[in-house]
Amino acid sequence: MATFKAIRIEKAEKGQSVALVDFDEKDLMDGDVTVNVAWSTVNYKDGLALTGKAPVVRRFPMIPGIDLAGTVEASSNPAWRPGDQIILNGFGLGETHLGGYAEKARVKGDWLVALPSSMSGRDAMAIGTAGYTAMLAILALEHHGVTPDHGPVVVTGAAGGLGSVAVAVLAKLGYRVIASTGRPQEAGYLRDLGASDIIERAELSGTPRPLGRERWAGGIDTVGSTTLANVLSMTSYGGAVAACGLAGGMDLPTSVAPFILRGVCLLGIDSVMCSLERRRTAWNRLASDLDRGKLAAMTSEVGLGQVQDLGSAILEGRVRGRIVVKIG
């Protein structure tokens, strides 16, 4: 019997149980590519899955982990051969399909992206879904025409994973970045990533006015709720805000004023079912536009056995930057 190490979530009488186990290879789900997983990561959604705080896991038992990087071991998909280095983000990994917190995964070849040649698997997972989503948001702002000469861009939840990557990439691209954080002690960290100004989270969490002072040309929001509403109300004429997350809540108590009086656009960002073409663009842009020194500065490393303890930490906003998980 061939087994490999994996984190497994089981339904329990009360909630769920999470354990590091020897997983039987014959219990892997269908797929045309088998991957030896080398690296994974911890995102906010992984925190939801590990703690059971939201119904992210749709089948039990589940191996959580919405991201993985590794080497193709076997493939009946013509696009992939043994030895190929790949990245997988989303497509239900760790939600409906057995995920990345395991030494082995069997997945659909159609979900995979080739690891950019200048990037290591560890770097790819230091970026992970959080960082790749930050790049999707930046691509959306660029597509809307928000360029550095239009004015600053605000990033909320800036000291988190998505926020940290967004700050670093935007700064490298020449934007003036305003970083909003609830952790003023991280101001130095955020300035080192490239933020020009740091504002207190509380400045954006009060009751939003329909229109506020025009403060930025664009925004990348990871928080949702009143924070996103305030960001919209302070976006200058013709600007755009990319809505990525819900760390502060799923509601959006805004008015139509920013849209109909300032022509502001709200850009929805989804990483899970995003097209392969867009994924490739995002990963190639990350390879060129994210400074590796800054990526290293925002990344800490853990082993598979430590992942379970990090679920609550990330949901409580206690994780700075990104966590990479060494598998195997």
What's at 166, amino acid-wise? Answer: A
Does 269 help bind ligand NDP (rule: CB under 6 A)?
yes
How does DSSP assign 155-202, residue by residue?
EESTTSHHHHHHHHHHHHTT--EEEEES-GGGHHHHHHHT-SEEEEGG
Q: How far is the CB of 144 from ligand NDP (least distance, A)?
A: 17
Q: What is the 3-state secondary structure (H, E, C) of 282-316?
A: HHHHHHHHCCHHHHHHCEEEEEHHHHHHHHHHHHC
Does 140 help bind ligand NDP (rule: CB under 6 A)?
no
Q: How far is the CB of 274 from ligand NDP (least distance, A)?
A: 8
> Measured from the CB atom, is 54 or 74 closer to ligand NDP?
54
Site for ligand NDP in 206-225 (CB under 6 A): 222-223
Among 33, 37, 241, 247, binds ligand NDP (CB under 6 A): 247
**Comparing C-alpha atoms, which of 136, 113, 138, 111 is closest to residue 124?**
113
Among 97, 201, 215, 294, binds ligand NDP (CB under 6 A): 201
Does 234 help bind ligand NDP (rule: CB under 6 A)?
no
**For residue 266, what are its two tokens?**
């709200």
**For residue 153, what are its two tokens?**
């861009």
Q: How far is the CB of 311 from ligand NDP (least distance, A)?
A: 11
Bridge partners (DSSP) of residue 12 are none
Among 62, 266, 319, 325, binds ligand NDP (CB under 6 A): 319
Q: How far is the CB of 135 from ligand NDP (least distance, A)?
A: 11
Site for ligand NDP in 117-136 (CB under 6 A): 129-130, 133
Per-residue binding letters, 181-200, with ligand NDP (x by CB under 6 A): xxx-----------------
Q: How far apart are CA 292 and CA 136, in angstroms?
A: 18
CB 71: neighbour CB atoms within 10 A? 16
Q: Are 128 and 152 in contact (CB under 8 A)?
A: no
Site for ligand NDP in 5-64 (CB under 6 A): 43-45
Q: How far is the CB of 314 from ligand NDP (least distance, A)?
A: 5
Distance of CA 116 to the CA centre of its chain: 18
Does 167 help bind ligand NDP (rule: CB under 6 A)?
no
**Comparing C-alpha atoms, which of 179, 167, 181, 176 is closest to residue 138?**
167
Q: How far is the CB of 260 from ligand NDP (least distance, A)?
A: 25
Q: How far is the CB of 165 from ligand NDP (least distance, A)?
A: 8
Bridge partners (DSSP) of residue 301 are 324
Does 169 help bind ligand NDP (rule: CB under 6 A)?
no
Which positions touch ligand NDP (CB under 6 A)? 43-45, 129-130, 133, 157-163, 181-183, 201, 222-223, 227, 244-248, 269-272, 314, 317, 319
